[in-house]
Chains A and B, each alone.
Chain A
């Protein structure tokens, strides 16, 4: 299986193709609905973000609390469509990879062209996926608990390229 290092290189963005199964390595940031609302508001007002969006990979997820001995609790993807309203602005600010589940709005697919790749992880495969997270730390919005922003290190997380930077999609309805 193809191994992909984060942040995505310009070459990877250009050649990753919808439908490919790959494994991801490197740094990503976990953020979902409530965190996106705040990040978006910060972008609008020009406030400093808690992490740099340039070349960033966001994983849409809200893990369980870590049990003793766990790096992070079970952590599968959540429905990406719930942050679609904010995503074009984040891509504009440098976001180049996203991991989630389910379809994206046409505005997101458009904003991704030449700039970003959307990976799908298997919903409900939370333990399998968290076993590929080797480091995790809350970096912002700790008050949001399950929805807090976390910096994580991925080691071989299995994902499928759902929508590539050319606008091809592996998701139903398949054209």
Chain B
């Protein structure tokens, strides 16, 4: 038997502390890439669309200065953790994530929006978080928090396409999602798209795309071409900022791909509003 290499011990409390800080950071400002895209959109819009974008930008500055949330829907906390296989978390990792979430929503006076699905009873502390974990090489733990508002989450869609539908089917799925839902999702939106995998694989891949910066490059030339064409088609709809018409319905379409079964072509489109909050840290 091989002897074990050095295992790093990480107290669960450190995870809780980090998650708490990331939630507050995420909700009280917008990432620079989103702000940059909002400014660029404001410059090309006129009338109500321009007024709406100016308000969104002003609001972000107020929120950042006051360290209060940009949007009152401070979301359901979605937490992505990549945990190095050479780390031992001392204590319950899942409990630590939920403790961090509960602490953030309590101490920063954030809205607790989480409730039982059927009886609709509020859990009182915005837990449980949605947790996506992966085991990776190394002895670090990378944590990304994206508090997800439901005005936009509700407009997301899953398509189990036939393989023959191909690229056209993918583009049409994206455009149809925007056509049916972007107006109610606080546009300009960002669309995270997962192509391939299984039903849940495509959905998680779609959500992961929302961690990418607007304007970041997709991993392959095909994806870059599809992202560009999808963005063109979505903006051609003319829904515009807050649905008042305009050239900017989406700030970005971000597509990820993974292998799938020969009989299928899953496409998940996760709709994100302009309040595209996320924050990450490596501990």
- Which A residues form the contact surface with B (CB < 8 A)? 19, 21, 34, 61-67, 73-76, 78-79, 81, 101-103, 120, 122-131, 145-146, 158, 160, 170-172, 174
Give the residue of A67, A76, A158 whose beta carbon is less than 8 angstroms from that of B72: A76
Chain B residues numbered 133-183 whose CB sits less than 8 Å from any CB in chain A:
151, 154, 183
A74 B69 Cβ-Cβ under 8 A? yes
Binary contact track B42-78/A, C-beta < 8 Å → 1, others 0? 0000011001100110110011001011111110000
- B242 in contact (CB, < 8 A): yes
Q: Which residues of A contact B184 (CB under 8 A)?
A: 79, 81, 101-103
A67 B109 Cβ-Cβ under 8 A? yes
Q: Which residues of B contact A129 (CB under 8 A)?
A: 59
In the bound complex, CA of A129 to CA of B68 (Å):
13
Which single residue of chain A is at the shortest CB-CB distance from B241? A122
In the bound complex, CA of A146 to CA of B242 (Å):
23
Closest CB of chain B to A130's CB: distance in Å? 8
Known contacts A78-B151, A122-B56, A123-B151; is-contact A66 B109 (Cβ 8 Å): yes
The dominant DSSP class at the A interface is loop
Which single residue of chain A is at the shortest CB-CB distance from B52? A122
Give the residue of A21, A64, A78, A128 whose beta carbon is less than 8 angstroms from that of B110: A64
Known contacts A78-B151, A102-B184; is-contact A21 B51 (Cβ 8 Å): yes
Closest CB of chain A to B43's CB: distance in Å? 18
- B273 in contact (CB, < 8 A): yes
- B274 in contact (CB, < 8 A): yes
Q: Which residues of A contact B59 (CB under 8 A)?
A: 122, 124-129
In the bound complex, CA of A54 to CA of B242 (Å):
29
Known contacts A102-B243, A158-B55; is-contact A64 B186 (Cβ 8 Å): no
Q: 9 closest A-B pairs (Cβ-Cβ)?
A: A123-B186, A128-B59, A125-B59, A102-B184, A124-B275, A67-B109, A126-B72, A124-B71, A64-B111
**Known interface pairs A21-B48, A158-B55; 7 further A-B residue pairs with C-beta atoms within 8 A, sorted by A's residue number:** A21-B51, A64-B109, A66-B109, A74-B70, A124-B186, A125-B58, A127-B59
B55 A128 Cβ-Cβ under 8 A? yes
